[in-house]
Structure 1
Amino acid sequence: MKLNMQPGDVLVFEAGDDWIGKSIAFLTKSTVSHSAMALEEFRIVEMGPHGIVSPGVHADEKGRKVYLLRLEPGRPAQPLLQAAEAYLREGVAFDFPALFLLAGLLIYRAIRPTPKLQQLTDLVLRSVCKGLDVFINRLRQRGHAQKVMVCSQFVYQCYRDCGEDYQIHLQGGDLQNGMNMGDTNENIRLIDLLEQSGPINTNLVDMHSPEESGICSDPQQLARELYAALTESDPNEMPAGADMRALLPVVQKFLELVEQILRETEQDIPINALFVTPDDLLHHAKNLRVVETAYITRD
């Protein structure tokens, strides 16, 4: 099995068995949950669990399914490689809370409001807010503006750093925000509710939910509960009993903490650019085309 990967190619990975990945795939109405960029024919650069890494890879029929995407029209790969290598030298951080991207998707993507989903969304957002608060304190202790990124945003940013000829153009802007779970009147987006509301005071937001339980200490378990809440509802059944507006204070708190992180790390990017997803790159990038589907394993 041959791997026809070229430097600068975008790799989008199918979701694995972890619950965070499954929830990301569900919220984006896709089957993918991670992305990376090719540095060499058999080496990639990506955001791993603890920061930016550059593992070797090889074709493996028992490996993880990946889509190889290439810029169209084609451009020299050198600027992309220089951008990625600069981030490698800098050692970009990724000690965000594990549920960070999932929290952003719950705010920016369409969801079907149910009491159970309201409860789990509240738990996820409060858990992530606590983690972001800790993360901000760590940034200040380090005393320098180390950049922070999530996987798809890293790929998107590398291309953006190289100028207009390389920038990935997403349908609808920097973030796909359509009614991705079925275009029905019952679906809502928390960001829309927030924009329609009046001023919200977040000073009294308690990071500890009164409903908080032991699952909050385990991101995968919390994501598992969330996935069940996302998938258990009957799409033909009218939702009832969920007042999603009750979540707006913690939604606003989350966005304020994200803005604070961008200021602390001196990143001049819109908040929603942090939540570019693997599905955005695979299905909504107007100037990326799939050149191959492969199965790979990291060395």
Structure 2
Amino acid sequence: MDSITSSIAVIRTRIRDTVEGIYRVWREWIGRYPFIAKVYHLFSWLSLLVLVLSLILIEESRTMLVQYLWTFYVLLQFWLLSRSKTVTWKQVSLFVLSGILLVIPLTNGTMQGLHLIFGGRTNDTWSEEIYKLLPLGLYLFFSRKATSLSLSDYVVLGAAPGIGFQFMEELSRRLVQSNYGVSFLGGKTLHWEFFDLFPGYFEESFIPTMMNVTHPVHSAMIALGIGIAFRYAKRLSRWAYAFPVLLLLWAILNHAAWNGQNRLPEWVLTLHEWTGEGYRTESFSWSCWLLGCSSTISICIESVTVFRFWRVRPSSTH
């Protein structure tokens, strides 16, 4: 077991050193050849000009802008609530981009491959919850700052790939559907409201029986569970790692129940009803976050108190 662990550590170090070496070489090239930065700036300004022209001439571009603004609003909510001091805005933006460039292709490729092998339709009930955690997993495995992450960092880094995934999914839905977010029997089912916390959730307007929170809420909840397990595993034993697994299964259940309301076995829908039918997910995740943050604060207070006790005690003996 120790040999396997050491081998994994060696592989991680080599990959990390290689990537860091490539990055250093790239930075040296930029410093040695300033025209690279100038070309990039020129390309950025030309891209902005093309975007402005497309917003005027192409209706789909305006549709994309609407979804982009909603996505940015959701990201801003997570950023302001998390108030991370370890993770920068640039890093969070890269995690959002990973949801678009990494999670979406992996999810689509897996779906197409499984349907090609086992048959079925591409709109069958599947879940991409595991893939949305992949960017966070890679960061925890390779980054040197992984051990310094707070629970708030886990929340925003877990939510970011879900935000990117949601952007592409909802943009595709807006471009394809003529009556976006509206069903014949359920009325308005997709809710983008400015005064909602994390808008973009699913719930039928006519006699609602269940709801499904947004992609970033599910991925943030699971990432929070991972952070709690890492932080408190020594105090709660290794069974703490079962907590994020249960949260992952809960997120998959919520997602599957909403997508397959009329196709899933009755026992699955019954289990979904026992777990709150999607209405308890968001409140439960934030309760865990507040509880974890309060526990961290209490541990810090206890540590400071003990430290002060040992600093004061010698002087009190004289």
Q: Classify the TM-score, shorter chain.
A: under 0.3
Whichever structure has more strand as a proportion of its residues is: 1
Structure having greater relative contact order (Cα 8 Å, sep ≥ 6): 1
In terms of fraction of residues, the more helix-rich structure is: 2
TM-score w.r.t. the length of structure 2 is: 0.25
State the structure with more CA Rg.
Answer: 2
TM-score with structure 1 setting the length? 0.26
